[in-house]
Structure 1
């Protein structure tokens, strides 16, 4: 019987808020990757955690992500925070409701602050952590490779959205594979564009 390769996946969407749009390097590309993984999360029934940083001052999560909207992706937790890490008490309670350890996949901003501190907290708690290189950014683009190098050193797996999707599925025989292929084909051009922009060698 076909089985998925990654156990207990959970998607963490960090602080993708409208007010950050003009400041973050290639913000739209990060949103595009988050949209792709959110589509996959619906197909694969992957729980989603999302946060905003100081919502009263910095605004709501970007509307195009459709989080908790009618017909959109329903999050397990959608929390506001002043912490830089996403692991607020509310998020930790949500994590505790799931089978552990998680295979946590992170997209969002900023790579060297909130993404890094979220990844470090998840690693400290014994979870496996994937940071999506085509799904994170910062105000200053130079921060990103330094943050990713640090996170690799700390034990996180830095990979791409498409690589993670195929690893998560693990077997073309699983019933959701055709739908995942549909997402991959639908986002082919945008994926290439994002990789060429955010993941330059």
Structure 2
């Protein structure tokens, strides 16, 4: 296994958290179809590379279930009422191998931000897939991303994160992921 480097997630020590991509947000969150498509690509790449993933649902009895086009039907979908995903993801994050978390979903200024801040406070590296994060307001999204960066999170894109996990075009799973 390659040595750990700050800002460089490794498949064996990373986890993916997908935040609240639920039916009720479909009509109100900016660029929702694109956000879901990019999150689905990130999820699929993580599956191929063996990165464990978890999906949360914010009060599913009110906001509905995870949208099917995410392709997460086989994953644990953990209901929550807290904005941060950290409590809901405790079983996954309790694994001592996990040192970095890839984060995507909605809403940037609420659940994604509070999750990032809590994970950073716990000493985990946080990698936000900015092209798979949104809010109802683009001002809220922009300020939340800025706040996460100020707090120490790494902002990236889905493709960049997948390439960081792969490290090399000679990786045996490069074609499947790219």
TM-score normalised per structure 2: 0.90
Counterpart for residue 122 of structure 1 = 119
Counterpart for residue 160 of structure 1 = 157
Which of residues 103, 107, 112 in structure 2 aligns to 1:110? 107
Deviation of residue 154 (structure 1)? 0.2
Q: Structure 1: state its 5+ residue gaps.
A: 69-73, 182-201
Structure 2 counterparts to residues 30-179 of structure 1, below 5 A: 30-68=35-73, 74-75=74-75, 77-88=76-87, 90-97=88-95, 99-101=97-99, 103-179=100-176
Deviation of residue 66 (structure 1)? 2.3
Q: 1:93-152 CA deviation, whole Å, 9 max, x = no partner?
A: 221135132x21111001011000000111111111011111111011111111111111
Q: Contact 2:107–2:135 (CA<8 Å) still a contact in 1?
A: yes
Q: Contact 2:38–2:158 (CA<8 Å) still a contact in 1?
A: yes
CA distance in 1, matches of 2:166, 2:106: 26
Q: Contact 1:6–1:169 (CA<8 Å) still a contact in 2?
A: no
CA distance in 2, matches of 1:141, 1:2: 38
Aligned length: 173
Q: Structure 2: state its 5+ residue gaps.
A: none
Q: Contact 1:51–1:81 (CA<8 Å) still a contact in 2?
A: yes
TM-score normalised per structure 1: 0.80
Deviation of residue 21 (structure 1)? 0.4
CA distance in 2, matches of 1:55, 1:78: 10
When Rg is computed on C-alpha atoms for both structures, the one with the higher figure is: 1
CA distance in 2, matches of 1:2, 1:149: 30
Q: Contact 2:128–2:154 (CA<8 Å) still a contact in 1?
A: yes
What SS class does the counterpart of residue 142 from structure 1 fall into? helix
- 45 and 141 in structure 1: CA distance in 2 versus 1, 3 angstrom threshold: same
Q: List structure 1 runs of 4+ shifted beyond 6 angstroms.
A: 1-4
Deviation of residue 65 (structure 1)? 1.4
Deviation of residue 161 (structure 1)? 1.0
